Amino acid sequence: MRASTIMTGAALVLLISVCPAISRAESLKVHLNGDQLHMEAHDLRFLSQAALARLHDGATVIYRFRLLVSASRNGNPTAEYTYHCVFSFDILEEKYKVSRQEPGYRTASHLSESAARDLCLDSLTIPAASMGANTPFWISMEYQMEDRQSSVDRSESPSVLDSLVNIFGQKKKDPQPVDMLRGGPYRMEDFRKAK
């Protein structure tokens, strides 16, 4: 019996190490502030090692977030909201700056890494008016670091030579992984009662 317990424990540790997303799949929290639902996931360290290395080398890093609202845990989305957060790191002060660029603009600087992550997540909102009072809903949050090419100013049109250099001079990059958190079921009446 002891050997089977050890084997079961070892299998669970192996599963969690191989599939870390499973171990935190339901850690997305939501709170109502005014007329907006805000996202919370204080234990989420979404800035990858690659992102932190880029930041500490002086580069900026962009994360794309998609909030998907659905009527059931694995249902089709009934609403979708996309946000981009830009992170930078001041090497001298060892502090982070984060800006939400789309939609609207919100920025803060002189932050610790955890404060920058939390501020980015809290700036991801869903209009409360778009939710029914008694209808249960689930929220999924997909997040992904965008490739460096995404950080180039899209308003500038590159020259033909720049385009050719970009096409032939760069190695093919593997796409960045898309991670997801999910939370629910929520009801708007529960948020309003809690206030």
If pLDDT is split at 50, 70 and 90, which confidence band does 177 have? confident
- Structure confidence by residue, pLDDT tens digits, 127-161: 998 888 789 999 999 999 997 544 444 444 455 55
Task: Select from 139, 48, 124 the least CA-distant residue to 82.
Answer: 124
Amino acid present at 161: L
Flag the least confident range among 35-44, 72-81, 125-134, 162-171. Answer: 162-171
For the entire predicted model, the pTM comes to 0.70
Reading the block at residue 24, the tokens are 């935190």
Residue 168 lies in a domain: no
Residues 183 and 103: their CA atoms lie apart, in Å, by: 23
Residue 8 lies in a domain: no
Residues 105 and 183: their CA atoms lie apart, in Å, by: 26
CA 132 to mean position of chain CA atoms = 25
Residue 17 lies in a domain: no
The domain tally of the chain equals: 1
Laid out side by side, the sheet with 36-40 consists of 29-33, 36-40, 125-127
Residue 37 lies in a domain: yes
Reading the block at residue 77, the tokens are 């989305």
Residue 115 lies in a domain: yes
Residue 14 lies in a domain: no
For residue 112, what pLDDT is reported? 95
Residue 114 sits in which domain range?
24-151+176-194
Residue 9 lies in a domain: no
Alpha helices in 30-153 (DSSP H): 49-56, 113-122
Question: Taking a C-beta distance cutoff of 8 angstroms, is the pair 121, 183 a contact?
Answer: no
Residue 47 lies in a domain: yes
Please report how many Cα atoms fall inside a 13 Å half-sphere around the Cα of residue 2, on the Cβ side: 0
